[in-house]
Structure 1
Amino acid sequence: MTYSIHPNTVLGEVKLRVSDLERSILFYEKVVGLTVLSRSGKHTASFTAKGGSTPLLILEEIPNAKRVTPRSHAGLYHFAILLPDRTSLGIALRHLAEAGIEIGQGDHTVSEALYINDPDGHGIEIYADRPRSTWKKDEHHNYIMGTDPVDVEGLLQLAGNIPFTGLPAGTIIGHVHFHISDLEVARHFYNHLLGFDIVVDASRYMHALFASAGGYHHHIGLNVWAGKGAPKVPSDAVGIDYFTIIFENQTVYEEALTRLEQNGVSVSRKAEEARVMDPFGIQIRITHA
């Protein structure tokens, strides 16, 4: 019997290493629309959406941080901020356009997405899902996901003159997407050990896998677009420090950690959370609701 992760598993905060915290705070507040939740000394800040009490993003300034060439290492491709509805996406689109930054976009059939980069080159997706009832699968049980142009005019028309006052309540981290060095190693770790279900196996035609809990279109994206065998990002470079997996309760959390340990994965436990490292040097914070 194939192990499958608990269906109510979700993602939590993402932590990034940055080169200039004050510059990044300005970007994430004024451009992205997050709000500073707390600061720890001069080098760390956490952010949330409107009315939030738990962090979605943590930034830590690294002294003399290096910057690696895009698509040259295993590590973050982008982290994805999920908005609660299409109107919010339209308002965010208008705001990003007014900020004058470069915006990528893609209609993925299951969702509509905007893409930007922060000052250190971290990829950010800001997106809204289409209703789950409209998601379709092919004959191989893969979700059908496209890369068509977004209906920009329709989004802007929906937004109208509604003022942008930051990312709204209900905004969450929807998924994370990584460059990795080997798809089959990634499949073993994220699917066989952690139990995320493969919902799109595009390993043959686009060299990527997409995995999720509970039938979501994806919580984890994995690709080898930086090259098979891509090296890990150095710890003194900008990049992802960790992402968070949140299990529904302590029982399934403990079961997940035990399964990892029994399969030779080093687990560092502290209070009600644990840290593990995936095979590509990407740290995972694991906790429970």
Structure 2
Amino acid sequence: MKYHDKPNMYVKHVEIKVSDLERSAKYYTEVIGFQILQKTTDRVTFTTDGKTSILSIIQPEGAYKSPQKTTGLYHFAILLPNRKYLANIIKYFQLNSIYFGASDHDVSEALYLRDPDHNGIEIYVDRAPEEWNWTGDQVFMKTVPLNFDDIKKSQDGEWNGLPANTVMGHIHLHVANLKDAERFYTALGYKVVLRYGSQALFISTGDYHHHIGLNTWNGEGAPQPKKNQVGLQNFTVQLDERDEDVINRLTTIGAPIEKTENGFITVDPSGNRIIVEK
């Protein structure tokens, strides 16, 4: 979990828009395994430890799912502390006939789901960093079938929801232009750790395999979503307080900056809203 501690610019929280708050609250508690920390008429904040939150959902007025492919959320990724929990949740999904996809990415083992509004969710566990394969400053990742038989050996007890030390491992975004996205996120303080063909790249701090993924799989020049369209509302990253030039770099490339008490808010070239805070 060192990659999700200061001074790394890890994703601390994700907020997504849904079309039916009650339906989604039930999904995220009963299927994914969150607990509700706070609930209002239009917002639910979830927790795993009873104190802090890594995910919240809101229901904007007139919220809807558009058939149009846009920029925004591809998936947010929940990182479990060890393989036992991945094995246990697989067993739980199978016993309850919950559909999921699965992949081995060499650096990690991952499950994929979609919530009732088709917001993408990844639940994963990292392999030990010593097992990651680097060529210079580029990490190796792949997508092959998960070895379920091997994972089952790690099963221990029953699935009782997300463990308290679950974190938001990373977020993966649809963007309109990869070069513009790279320019913005490197100005924000990230390094490119993998170029995945010509349509995706992965960025991180502290030599993590990725804190953020970026792709143009919804099409080069994809439009931005409407304000009441389900999907990403914003995500929050931990500010590297040692970096005194980050606002100047973002201002130089024309990125909007709204200063806050704990940091600032900015928006990437594809309209993804980012809260950067201490």
- TM-score of the aligned structures, taking structure 1 as reference length: 0.90
Contact map agreement 1:32 1:96 (CA 8 A) in 2: no
Deviations 1:127-163 (A, max 9, x none): 000000110123x642111111111122233214x12
Query: Which residue of structure 1 aligns with residue 168 of structure 2?
Result: 173
Larger mean Cα displacement after TM superposition, 236-245 or 149-158 = 149-158
Contact map agreement 1:143 1:217 (CA 8 A) in 2: yes
Distance 2:277 2:246 in 1: 10
Check if 1:157 corresponds to 2:149: no
Check if 1:82 corresponds to 2:79: yes
Query: Which residue of structure 2 aligns with residue 198 of structure 1?
Result: 192
Distance 1:17 1:56 in 2: 15
Query: Which residue of structure 1 aligns with residue 55 of structure 2?
Result: 57
Query: Which residue of structure 1 aligns with residue 118 of structure 2?
Result: 121
Q: Secondary structure at the match of 1:190?
A: helix
% identical aligned pairs: 37
Displacement after TM superposition at 1:7 (Å): 5.3
Distance 1:123 1:245 in 2: 19
Contact map agreement 1:74 1:179 (CA 8 A) in 2: yes
Query: Which residue of structure 2 aligns with residue 42 of structure 1?
Result: 41
Distance 2:82 2:122 in 1: 15
Change (3 A) 1:99 1:257: farther
Q: 1:241 aligns with which of 225, 228, 233?
A: 233
Query: Which residue of structure 1 aligns with residue 138 of structure 2?
Result: 142
Check if 1:219 corresponds to 2:222: no
Contact map agreement 2:7 2:239 (CA 8 A) in 1: no
Q: Secondary structure at the match of 2:138?
A: coil
Query: Which residue of structure 2 aligns with residue 108 of structure 1?
Result: 105
Deviations 1:84-123 (A, max 9, x none): 0011111111122233222001000000000000001000
Whichever residue aligns with residue 54 of structure 1, its letter is T
Distance 1:95 1:242 in 2: 30
Distance 1:125 1:247 in 2: 24
Check if 1:272 corresponds to 2:276: no
Change (3 A) 1:248 1:101: same
Contact map agreement 2:174 2:218 (CA 8 A) in 1: yes
Larger mean Cα displacement after TM superposition, 268-277 or 117-126 = 268-277
Q: Secondary structure at the match of 1:105?
A: strand
Whichever residue aligns with residue 158 of structure 1, its letter is S
Change (3 A) 1:8 1:141: closer
Query: Which residue of structure 2 aligns with residue 66 of structure 1?
Result: 64
Structure 1: where are the runs of 5+ without partners?
Answer: 1-5
Aligned residues: 273
Displacement after TM superposition at 1:261 (Å): 2.4
Distance 1:201 1:129 in 2: 20
Q: Secondary structure at the match of 1:149?
A: coil
Whichever residue aligns with residue 64 of structure 1, its letter is G
Check if 1:185 corresponds to 2:184: no
Q: Secondary structure at the match of 1:58?
A: strand
Q: Secondary structure at the match of 1:158?
A: coil
Q: Secondary structure at the match of 2:94?
A: helix
Query: Which residue of structure 2 aligns with residue 261 of structure 1?
Result: 251
Distance 1:225 1:130 in 2: 27
Contact map agreement 2:239 2:263 (CA 8 A) in 1: no
The within-5 A match list for 1:22-33 is 22-33=22-33
Whichever residue aligns with residue 210 of structure 1, its letter is F
Coordinate RMSD, CA, aligned = 1.6
Query: Which residue of structure 2 aligns with residue 284 of structure 1?
Result: 274
Distance 1:44 1:119 in 2: 16
Deviations 1:155-211 (A, max 9, x none): 233214x121110121100111011111111111112x112110001243xx11000
